[in-house]
């Protein structure tokens, strides 16, 4: 096995009005089109431009090759809906009100699409948004219902629910391409949010990619069997591949005999039932032999952990191939239509994801794999091909950046910053630290509430609610965040400086313990919290 480590009027007119030519103003450059591509739970480790050699994503890589690769892109809150709310509003969760996946999002507030729409843009939102209510600020919207389904998904097109036949990633791309070709007013610049469901849990691949990675034996990450020494909050998670990944729901071991009984089997069955008979036949032809072998082996311990990790990686990476195909189709269309030169394209994810690091899947934590997100961007008019940007950028920066490129005034209440000037070289002034919050606890995966800061080298995190613990990491010397230095006397001055920086950022952005208590009360009183805590899979 391989190891994958008019000419103006005539002469007569010109002679009668000789001064007209001199008085004509130079044509103002057209505002750029903006395409914001976002997938769900796409780890930077699983984009080949980042060099982790797990898979190949040539079309996504094209964006960086023709533009810029951000090596330090981060989110404000590593969970689906709050991250999306931050991207739309340019504000932290505690300011836009979407602090978790449970509490509602207020579409009445301002967002980047509304601002661009006011300034002459055609706007569209297609795919996953995972924010309750009817999208505002868009001339056209066609969004997945809730989390969405991989096969034969339900969408809400301008308020009307309808089902599409086919694979969700391809359906989303087809709707997007139809809007670009036929749905928009081509006399106007456009802002398009093209958002994929994949590779979100439960990582159901398109039929054409079933088995794509079967000849690869993925090695366990070095930190897979982490014992979490000195990191109490990490120890009490519920996102371990070995302990918490459901072999039926997550790993497709839905045996016809019903012998494999797991907590989430009924959810797996409901997803399988969405397929038509042809789809099910192809699915069964691939998975049934795997199910049989799995049952026969009766794996335990480390052998089971290795099997679950590899099954997870094969399915997860396979879903990304379809995402990459969609990006390629979009890029080819822009090139063919002569739109590429005047179009800004961003590819990102709503957050990072664990691919076995610390033995985990999922996100939520402020640790690098979930806090950090891929960001690749191209705009030939201003960004030099092959640029690598190492400065700290965050998802709250997208909205002001897009408004800046569109020559549109940035609302004062947006907390993010436009990074246009650091890309075009007009300024070197930039932030030296990022602020992070996470609120969805108690709840699924048992990741405790926490907040913190990250500088170019250090990270300070405060976990609270059931505990009151602090963690601090030197990311230069400990990139895997295995050694908590908070109580190390040799790092006392660094700890003090980080606390001062943290307090300064909390004051700057308007966060406080009192504000947190308000959101906690609303969260615990919300009608959906009990359902969430019982294991609803809408996270």
Residue 130 near residue 81, CB atoms below 8 Å: yes
Q: How many residues are listed for the chain in this entry?
A: 539
Residues 184 and 331 in one domain: yes
Instruction: Please count the helices (runs of H) and the strands (runs of E) in the chain.
Output: 18, 16
Instruction: Tell me, yes or no, whether 81 and 200 share the same domain.
Output: yes
Q: What is the pLDDT of residue 468?
A: 95
Q: Which residue has the tokens 């806090």?
A: 371
- Asked whether residue 219 is assigned to any structural domain, the reply reads no
Please count the other Cβ atoms lying within 10 Å of the Cβ belonging to residue 366. 30
Are residues 141 and 158 both part of a single domain?
Answer: yes
In the chain, the number of structural domains is 3
**Do 59 and 145 lie in a common domain?**
yes
Q: Which domain holds residue 346?
A: 33-204+312-428
Confidence at residue 30, expressed as pLDDT on a 0 to 100 scale: 86
Asked if 190 and 59 sit in the same domain, the reply is yes
Dist CA 240 CA 412 (whole Å): 42
| Same domain for 405 and 277 | no
- Do 136 and 117 share a structural domain? yes
Residues 121 and 199 in one domain: yes
pLDDT for res 528: 62
CA distances in angstroms from 436 to 73, 303, 514, listed in the order given: 13, 37, 17
For 235-284, give the DSSP string: HT-S-BHHHH--TTTTT----TT-----TTHHHHHHHHHTS-HHHHHHHH
416 assigned to some structural domain: yes
Neighbour-count burial of 168, counting CB atoms closer than 10 A to its CB (0-12 exposed, 13-18 middle, 19+ buried) = buried
pLDDT tens, residue by residue, 7-18: 233 322 333 333
Report which of 84, 87, 49, 131 is spatially closest to residue 320, judged by C-alpha positions: 49
In a domain, 114, yes or no: yes
Structural domain ending residue among the three candidates 377, 406, 428? 428
The residue among 133, 134, 130, 164 whose CA lies nearest residue 150 is 164
CB 344 within 8 A of CB 253: no
The domain boundary, picked from 308, 336, 370, lies at: 308
Per the CB < 8 A criterion, the answer to whether 403 and 115 are in contact is yes
- Which residues face 348 on adjacent strands? 38, 375
Please state whether the peptide bond connecting residue 202 to the residue before it is cis, i.e. omega within 30 degrees of 0: yes
Q: In this structure, are 448 and 528 located in the same domain?
A: yes
64 and 159 co-located in one domain = yes
Residues 6+ apart with CB under 8 A from 331: 59, 62, 63, 340, 345
What confidence score (pLDDT) does residue 2 get? Answer: 40
What's the rounded Cα separation, in Å, for the pair 494 and 169?
A: 46
The confidence score (pLDDT) of residue 529 equals: 60
Burial 250-266 (b: 16+ CB within 10 A, else e): bbbbbbeeeebebeebe
* CA dist list (Å): 121 to 30, 116, 414: 11, 5, 20
Whether residue 539 lies inside any domain: the answer is: no
Q: Are 65 and 386 in contact (CB under 8 A)?
A: yes
| Ranges of the chain whose pLDDT falls below 50 | 1-29, 531-539
CA-CA-CA-CA torsion sign (505, 509, 515, 520): negative
Q: Is 24 a domain residue?
A: no
């Amino acid at each position: 096995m391989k190891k994958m480590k008019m000419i103006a009027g005539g002469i007569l007119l010109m002679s009668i009005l000789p001064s007209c030519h001199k008085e004509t103003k130079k044509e103002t450059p057209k505002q750029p089109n903006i395409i914001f591509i976002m997938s769900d739970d796409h780890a930077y480790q699983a984009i080949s431009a980042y060099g982790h050699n797990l898979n190949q994503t040539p079309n996504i890589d094209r964006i960086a090759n023709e533009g810029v690769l951000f090596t330090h892109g981060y989110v404000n809150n590593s969970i689906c809906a709050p991250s999306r709310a931050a991207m739309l509003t340019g504000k932290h969760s505690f300011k836009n009100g979407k602090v978790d996946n449970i509490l509602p999002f207020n579409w009445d507030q301002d967002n980047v699409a509304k601002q661009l729409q006011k300034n002459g843009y055609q706007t569209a939102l297609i795919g996953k948004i995972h924010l309750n209510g009817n999208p505002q600020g868009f001339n056209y919207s066609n969004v997945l219902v809730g989390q969405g389904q991989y096969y034969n998904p339900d969408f809400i097109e301008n308020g009307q629910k309808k089902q599409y036949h086919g694979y969700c990633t391809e359906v989303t791309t087809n709707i997007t391409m139809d809007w670009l070709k036929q749905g928009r007013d081509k006399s106007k610049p456009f802002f398009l949010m093209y958002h994929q469901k994949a590779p979100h849990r439960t990582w159901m691949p398109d039929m054409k990619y079933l088995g794509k990675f079967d000849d690869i034996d993925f090695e366990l990450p070095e930190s897979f069997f982490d014992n979490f020494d000195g990191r109490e909050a990490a120890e009490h998670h519920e996102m371990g591949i070995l302990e918490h990944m459901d072999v039926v729901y997550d790993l497709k071991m839905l045996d016809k005999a019903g012998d494999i009984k797991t907590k989430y089997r009924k959810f797996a069955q409901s997803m399988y039932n969405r397929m038509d008979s042809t789809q099910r036949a192809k699915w069964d032809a691939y998975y049934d032999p795997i199910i049989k072998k799995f049952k026969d082996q009766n794996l335990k311990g480390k052998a089971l952990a290795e099997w679950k990790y590899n099954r997870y990686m094969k399915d997860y990476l396979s879903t990304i191939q379809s995402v990459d195909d969609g990006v390629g189709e979009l890029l080819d269309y822009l090139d063919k239509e002569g739109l590429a030169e005047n179009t800004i394209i961003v590819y990102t994810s709503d957050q990072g994801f664990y691919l076995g690091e610390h033995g985990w899947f999922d996100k939520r934590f402020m640790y690098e794999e979930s806090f950090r997100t891929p960001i690749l961007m191209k705009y030939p008019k201003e960004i030099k091909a092959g640029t690598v940007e190492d400065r700290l950028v965050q998802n709250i920066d997208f909205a002001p950046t897009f408004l800046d490129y569109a020559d549109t005034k940035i609302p004062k209440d947006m907390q993010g910053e436009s990074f246009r000037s650091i890309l075009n070289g007009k300024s070197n002034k930039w932030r030296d630290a990022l602020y992070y919050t996470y609120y969805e606890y108690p709840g699924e995966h048992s990741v405790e509430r926490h907040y913190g800061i990250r500088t170019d080298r250090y990270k300070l995190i405060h976990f609270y609610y059931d505990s009151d613990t602090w963690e601090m990491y030197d990311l230069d010397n400990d990139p895997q965040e295995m050694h908590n230095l908070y109580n190390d006397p040799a790092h006392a001055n660094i700890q003090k400086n980080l606390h001062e920086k943290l307090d300064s950022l909390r004051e700057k952005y308007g966060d406080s313990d009192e504000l947190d208590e308000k959101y906690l009360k609303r969260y615990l009183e919300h009608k959906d919290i009990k359902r969430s805590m019982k294991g609803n899979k809408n996270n």
